[in-house]
Structure 1
Amino acid sequence: LWACVGIVAVIVATSIGQVLLNRWNEPFYDALARRDMQGFLHQLLVFAAIAGGLVVLNVGQTWLDQTIRLKLREALTVDLIGEWMRPARAFRLANAGAIGVNPDQRLQQDAGHLSDLSTGLGIGLLQSFILLVSFVGVLWSLSSGFVFHVGGYSLAIPGYMVWAAILYAGTASWLSWLVGRPLIRFNSDRYTREAELRSSVVRVNENVDAIALAHGEADARRRLELDLGTVLGAMRRIYSAQINLSWVTDSYGWITVVAPILVASPVYFAGDISFGGLMMAVGAFNQVHSSLRWFINNIGGIADWRATLMRVADFRIALAETDVLHHTERRIEFGENPDGRLTFDKLEIASRDGCTKLAEPHVEIRAGERVMITGDPRAGKTLFFRAIAGLWPWGSGRIGMPAGEVPTFVPRKPYFPLGTLREVLDHADAAVSDSEISAVLAEVGLGRLSSSLDRSARWERELSDDEQRLLAFARLVLRQPKWVIID
């Protein structure tokens, strides 16, 4: 909040400084026209004082700008991570279709890009508005009493330079919007293609061993080049639209070099203002026009901002909607058993391939019992495992969990957080000694890791699949849960 208040104060102070600098134009150029050396030197000192203050304000604005960007990105990313990491949401999102693909880009690249664009465009718009309010009065007063004489007729247009600036900038803004509108769609498509390319590269990098053993480099290269081709195609469409937009923006940019003088020249040639007054009017016109053409200068950024905002908003909405995904379909009833049993009653699990159900209508498992659930390949055992965990609620019947107990679920591929081996194995509620950890590692056949307890690594990459499962069993032994469910 303080940074937002500070940026407003700095922009207002900068606008005041620029108004003073614009007023400085008149005595400075009048001194030049009179060849007044003393007046010329005095105005240089005035300029140094005004410019020095503006430099300090510009540096302060840059610092506040960067601070707001960081705060906005932190707030946005923390919010998205919090929504994504709610229980079972990430899993459901991954099974929700295209919106669940590449969440890393939404959380990292899109959130950061949206923060930068929102800050830059927001501060720029505020600054343009304040400058417009500051200078429109100056420009109005300079052209308020001018009367055009054409063919014996007199025409008075109060503040005609203001109306000229509005007409000039309005025409340019309309043309820029008309030509640059497709950039919104093209930018959104480009980000999607970029995410697909990055996902393909990550997939190849994670399977380099299998690719090398299968001599699959040529196929991997072909797939990467196909994804690269879609990215380049999206970028070509963007560049083509930007070239069309450049015809408008560059044309108006060059016309702007002489437009202020052309607009102010009738007042000057009529003798109503001096040469210094002409330069002051030109400066005021440029400031008003610059403020009004903010849209022209930022049409590409606005298109990019809107495309990024749509991606982040769609992701945020999808996260909320995963809680009611397929809410009209039948759902499994979940409850608790006060006697501490795990029960399944008439359980059927719905899937795309049909329905999976247990052979027995009623199953009861007590604490301490060891039970194996078997089935043919692709019979839905993993889906059943997910249903017990509450990740897959679609189906019918009832699952009764032991009251007051939180079972530990061990998937086929265990999850190990990035960190030291000690952090992977330690229980958050009970510290475990090094000797206990070493003994358990030796018991499961991973005694060689006892010397690596304080080494940080990506253990899912350093260990083979069998070693990862052994490490997961070591973690179970150390944590000693009352209920363990293993896929």
Structure 2
Amino acid sequence: MNHVASPAAPPQHSEQIAIFRKLVIGFWSSPGSRIAWITTAVVLAFVGAQVGTQVFFNYWYRAFFDGLQQKDMSVLVGALFQLPMIVVATVVASGGLLVSKMMFHVSWRAWVTQRLAGWWIADQRYYRLGLIAPEHQAPEYRIAEDTKLAIEPLAEFVIGLVSATVTAITFSTILWSVAGSFRLTLGQVVIDIPAYMAVAAVIYAALTSTIAYLAGMPLVRHVADKNAAESEFRAELTRLRENAESIALIKGDKDELNSVLANYGRVVRAWYGVIRQQGFISILQNTNAVLFPVIPLVLTLPKYVSGEMTLGAVMQVASAFAAVQGSLIWFVDNVVKLAEWYASVRRVNELVILLDQLDIGTIMEGDANIRLGISEDGSIHIDNLSIAESAGRVVINDASVVIKQGERVMVMGESGVGKSTLIRALAGLWPWGLGEIRVPRDVEIAFVPQRPYIPLGTLRNALLYPDAGSKIAHETVVRTMVRCGLSYLAKRLDDEERWDHVLSGGERQRVAFCRLVLRQPDIIIMDEATSALDEDSQQSMLNLLHEELKSSTVISVGHRTGIEEHHDRKIILERRPAGAHMTSLTVSKSLWSYFRQQRA
């Protein structure tokens, strides 16, 4: 029997980016990508419009200050008349860019969420993921929150980078043409520095970006640790809420409080790491905010004093330098957001990798999955079946049995021997192991767990789940409820409640039997399906299987007395060193006789 493969090393930075890029890039190539291209084109158009208004305002700036220096009222009045048009154009471009970016965010996130959620929910991956990787908690949070934190900033980064690039190129051209070259005389040596303002902007931006990179990279780890600690803290509180009754009954308040506070202590320590690193980055950002408005004025001062540049030209150059500088130090201004984004990307990638492993079978070494096949004779065939836990321990070893159509079979054995795991394998929920399970073609299989699921909505929807839209007559539903001991709820069939909170454990199990009668499945697989019922109610529900579901094949697990006589045969699992051994026995005729007498 093969065991679980050793976990792979966490992907490196480049691999993390590649995994995430593969996930999100399909937005532009999948069916229905027309919306992606339209929203992308609209965003880019507004980026161009916004840069255009900045250029127009830059030239207005020069004209206004030249008129101010020359005290030319005609130039100043003309500039003031142009100002409203510039303001309107700027407002329209900025507002359009904001709205189009938000539409782009929503569309891209919706596509990625639909893909991830569909991948997670399909083929019971949401169930199997909890079995193979219970330490990776809250996949729903990764789909809902981490996807948001990974997509929305990414869209902002991409749009911001495009805008910064276009702005840098455009205003570098202005710096080159307006500021010209700078002649530096050192003794007898004369050095001409062409486009010196553009060169100065690039050098300054490169210096500050390098420092920001060195200060920002450790922040990625601190943010990832902080997010992980926050997730674990939420999971701890959720576990407390879900087990509130059990904890209250045994008065475990003090221990739980200590556990919660210890968990939150890890959150606080992780936050201290983030705060320290952000403090370093804040020093860099504030220093840069003070220096970069002054630098262009200092660099243009010699030319202004010598008369080579007018006041308007100085102000235009200073404005263009600020635009180029703001574009080139884009990384400095976004280093914290990039760290937050990368931390969320890593958490989304963890879910993607696990889902991918479920699909390609890399959780187990080699070809170690239970094969599901088709039976041609109407029976269920279990051939050379070995079942392993997700950790690799063999639970059931080399078992074979045939369950004929319409047969009632009970699975028995001591606790922990693998009964529930066998039931899950029969239901197609447990693929880890070897051997084959064959079921008849085109049959409906109903799985009844110990705690049946109750969906949101009306009680009628709960009774008809998962076929809530099926057209079953009202009278049939009511008659079934009466037969299952739920007649007192018949008047509330169309009431919307949190029925999973309203119904007791026994009522939930009665609802499950109602579903069986209404659906009439070909195969019924039950796991402790009557554990919350009293003995009389249990007998009534099991009698229901013989009266209303005579042709259905029934496979069930149960420990309580009074269950065995409702079955034709029992399969006993016996614990052995190499895994449980399966023995099939026929139920005693005397028990059947007793059962029939009781029914009579």
The answer to whether the superposition gives a TM-score over 0.5 is yes
- Check the 8 A contact 1:339/1:403 in 2, yes or no: no
Distance of 1:410 and 1:269 partners within structure 2: 89
TM-score between both structures, scaled by the size of structure 2: 0.78
Residues 1:466 and 2:506 are matched in the alignment: yes
SS at match of 2:409: coil
Q: Which residue in the other structure is 1:67 paired with?
A: 103
SS at match of 1:373: strand
Pick from 237, 240, 245 the counterpart of residue 204 of structure 1: 240
Q: CA deviation at 1:111?
A: 0.7
SS at match of 2:428: coil
SS at match of 2:293: helix
Q: CA deviation at 1:362?
A: 4.2
- Check the 8 A contact 1:143/1:158 in 2, yes or no: no
Distance of 1:212 and 1:98 partners within structure 2: 25
Q: CA deviation at 1:143?
A: 2.7
Q: Which residue in the other structure is 1:386 paired with?
A: 424
Q: CA deviation at 1:429?
A: 7.3
Distance of 2:152 and 2:370 partners within structure 1: 44
1:323-360 per-position Cα deviation (integer Å, ceiling 9, x unaligned): 3120426443432211110122333322358434489x
Q: Pairwise mapping of residues 155-234 of structure 1 onto structure 2 (< 5 A)? A: 155-234=191-270
SS at match of 1:326: coil
Paired AA for residue 405 in structure 1 = V
Q: Which residue in the other structure is 1:336 paired with?
A: 374
Distance of 2:312 and 2:507 partners within structure 1: 83
Question: What are the ranges of 5 or more consecutive residues in structure 2 without an aligned counterpart?
Answer: 1-36, 528-600
Between 316-325 and 349-358, report the one with greater CA deviation.
Answer: 349-358
1:89-112 per-position Cα deviation (integer Å, ceiling 9, x unaligned): 122211222663210211111011
Distance of 2:168 and 2:400 partners within structure 1: 76
Distance of 1:444 and 1:358 partners within structure 2: 38
Residues 1:414 and 2:443 are matched in the alignment: no
Paired AA for residue 497 in structure 2 = A
Q: CA deviation at 1:480?
A: 0.8
Q: Which residue in the other structure is 2:331 paired with?
A: 295
Q: CA deviation at 1:418?
A: 2.1
Between 64-73 and 201-210, report the one with greater CA deviation.
Answer: 201-210
1:417-437 per-position Cα deviation (integer Å, ceiling 9, x unaligned): 222222222235741122221
Pick from 386, 389, 410 the counterpart of residue 348 of structure 1: 386
CA spacing shift, 1:394–1:315, aligned 2, 3 Å: closer
SS at match of 1:100: coil
- Check the 8 A contact 2:229/2:270 in 1, yes or no: yes
Distance of 2:400 and 2:332 partners within structure 1: 70
Distance of 1:353 and 1:72 partners within structure 2: 39
Q: CA deviation at 1:81?
A: 0.4
Between 474-483 and 210-219, report the one with greater CA deviation.
Answer: 210-219
Distance of 1:19 and 1:309 partners within structure 2: 36
CA spacing shift, 1:89–1:265, aligned 2, 3 Å: same
Residues 1:86 and 2:122 are matched in the alignment: yes
- Check the 8 A contact 1:110/1:311 in 2, yes or no: yes
Residues 1:375 and 2:413 are matched in the alignment: yes
Pick from 90, 106, 113 the counterpart of residue 77 of structure 1: 113
Q: Which residue in the other structure is 1:456 paired with?
A: 496
Q: CA deviation at 1:28?
A: 0.5
Distance of 1:220 and 1:354 partners within structure 2: 32
1:426-477 per-position Cα deviation (integer Å, ceiling 9, x unaligned): 2357411222212211221222222222233333222222211111111111
Residues 1:107 and 2:143 are matched in the alignment: yes
Paired AA for residue 355 in structure 1 = V
Paired AA for residue 452 in structure 2 = P
Distance of 1:118 and 1:302 partners within structure 2: 9
Residues 1:133 and 2:169 are matched in the alignment: yes
Pick from 5, 21, 41 the counterpart of residue 5 of structure 1: 41
Pick from 478, 484, 487 the counterpart of residue 524 of structure 2: 484
Aligned length: 486
Distance of 1:230 and 1:297 partners within structure 2: 29
Distance of 1:5 and 1:331 partners within structure 2: 47
CA spacing shift, 1:148–1:346, aligned 2, 3 Å: closer
SS at match of 1:476: helix
1:163-182 per-position Cα deviation (integer Å, ceiling 9, x unaligned): 10000010000000001111
Question: What are the ranges of 5 or more consecutive residues in structure 1 without an aligned counterpart?
Answer: none
Q: CA deviation at 1:226?
A: 1.6
SS at match of 1:348: strand
Residues 1:55 and 2:91 are matched in the alignment: yes
Between 24-33 and 287-296, report the one with greater CA deviation.
Answer: 24-33
Q: Pairwise mapping of residues 268-307 of structure 1 onto structure 2 (< 5 A)? A: 268-307=304-343
Paired AA for residue 352 in structure 2 = R
CA spacing shift, 1:395–1:18, aligned 2, 3 Å: closer
Q: CA deviation at 1:410?
A: 1.3
SS at match of 2:122: coil
CA spacing shift, 1:355–1:288, aligned 2, 3 Å: closer
Q: Which residue in the other structure is 2:574 paired with?
A: none
Q: Which residue in the other structure is 1:442 paired with?
A: 482
Residues 1:16 and 2:52 are matched in the alignment: yes
CA spacing shift, 1:247–1:328, aligned 2, 3 Å: same
Distance of 1:308 and 1:258 partners within structure 2: 37
- Check the 8 A contact 1:23/1:280 in 2, yes or no: yes
Residues 1:121 and 2:152 are matched in the alignment: no
- Check the 8 A contact 1:342/1:399 in 2, yes or no: yes
Distance of 1:61 and 1:131 partners within structure 2: 15
Between 472-481 and 392-401, report the one with greater CA deviation.
Answer: 392-401
- Check the 8 A contact 1:99/1:318 in 2, yes or no: no
Identity %: 32
Between 453-462 and 409-418, report the one with greater CA deviation.
Answer: 453-462
CA spacing shift, 1:362–1:139, aligned 2, 3 Å: closer
Paired AA for residue 212 in structure 2 = S
Distance of 2:255 and 2:201 partners within structure 1: 59
1:217-238 per-position Cα deviation (integer Å, ceiling 9, x unaligned): 2222222212211111111110
Distance of 1:312 and 1:99 partners within structure 2: 15
Distance of 2:329 and 2:270 partners within structure 1: 28
Q: Pairwise mapping of residues 246-261 of structure 1 onto structure 2 (< 5 A)? A: 246-261=282-297
1:384-441 per-position Cα deviation (integer Å, ceiling 9, x unaligned): 1111122222333332212221311112221222222222222357411222212211
Distance of 1:297 and 1:358 partners within structure 2: 60
Pick from 436, 444, 463 the counterpart of residue 398 of structure 1: 436
SS at match of 2:413: coil
Distance of 2:364 and 2:449 partners within structure 1: 25
| CA RMSD after TM alignment | 1.9
- Check the 8 A contact 1:329/1:394 in 2, yes or no: no
Q: Pairwise mapping of residues 262-273 of structure 1 onto structure 2 (< 5 A)? A: 262-273=298-309
Distance of 1:474 and 1:358 partners within structure 2: 36
Pick from 272, 280, 287 the counterpart of residue 236 of structure 1: 272
CA spacing shift, 1:160–1:145, aligned 2, 3 Å: closer
Paired AA for residue 432 in structure 1 = I
